[in-house]
Amino acid sequence: MPGITVQLPEELERIIRAYPSDKRYILAMMQDLQKQCNYLPREALEEIARHVEIPFSKVYALATFYKAFSLVPRGKYHIKVCDGTACHIKSSAVLIDQIFNAIAIRPGETSPDGMFSLETVNCIGACAIAPVMVINEKVYSKVSSAGILDVINGIRGDINDNAKSS
């Protein structure tokens, strides 16, 4: 509703306030917020606009222009599959299908448990090691269908091991 402001969690407010009230810091604020939340909450974008004293629409335009930012929550394990020319020729579409078979998500979706999200990217810049996928910051090269299952099952094993030790 217009005119209603939502209280931003203190840790997000602290991230924004750590920067001067200058619009040249908007992208840095967004990067830090996304790192903290795995996406950019609308309330945080509104607070950035107030902090640097520009219209919300300009902040929103930046957030939607850069593919690195997400306006919806991403999974704890964010999977990016390269679908550039070299990766596409080496069957990146098969990898996406294999991920769907294993996790039941398509590009742009997040698993119901919030553990995995999937997106395709135009190029990772690693054509020599195609097909390539990145999970969080880790690059997986020359990925096969079986390799994807090994990676996903390894992550699930880590999740289960962490849950047992908690």
Give the model's pLDDT for residue 128: 95
Residue 148 lies in a domain: yes
Q: Are residues 44 and 82 in the same domain?
A: no
Q: Would you say 85 and 62 are in contact if contact means Cβ atoms under 8 Å apart?
A: no
Residue type, 26: I
The count of structural domains within the chain is 2
Q: Are residues 88 and 155 in the same domain?
A: yes
Residue 4 lies in a domain: no
Give the model's pLDDT for residue 90: 95
Q: Tell me the three state secondary structure of residue 17.
A: helix
Q: Are residues 39 and 98 in the same domain?
A: no
Residue type, 141: S
Give the model's pLDDT for residue 156: 84
Give the model's pLDDT for residue 68: 84
Residue type, 41: P
Q: Are residues 88 and 158 in the same domain?
A: yes
Give the model's pLDDT for residue 7: 65
Tokens of 52: 């640097």
CATH number of the domain at 98, please.
3.40.30.10
DSSP 78: E
**Cα–Cα distance, 2 to 44 (Å, whole number):** 16
Mean pLDDT, consecutive 10-residue stretches, the chain (166 aa), reads 60 94 96 93 96 97 92 92 95 94 93 93 93 93 90 82 62
What residue numbers bound the domain in which 17 lies? 10-65
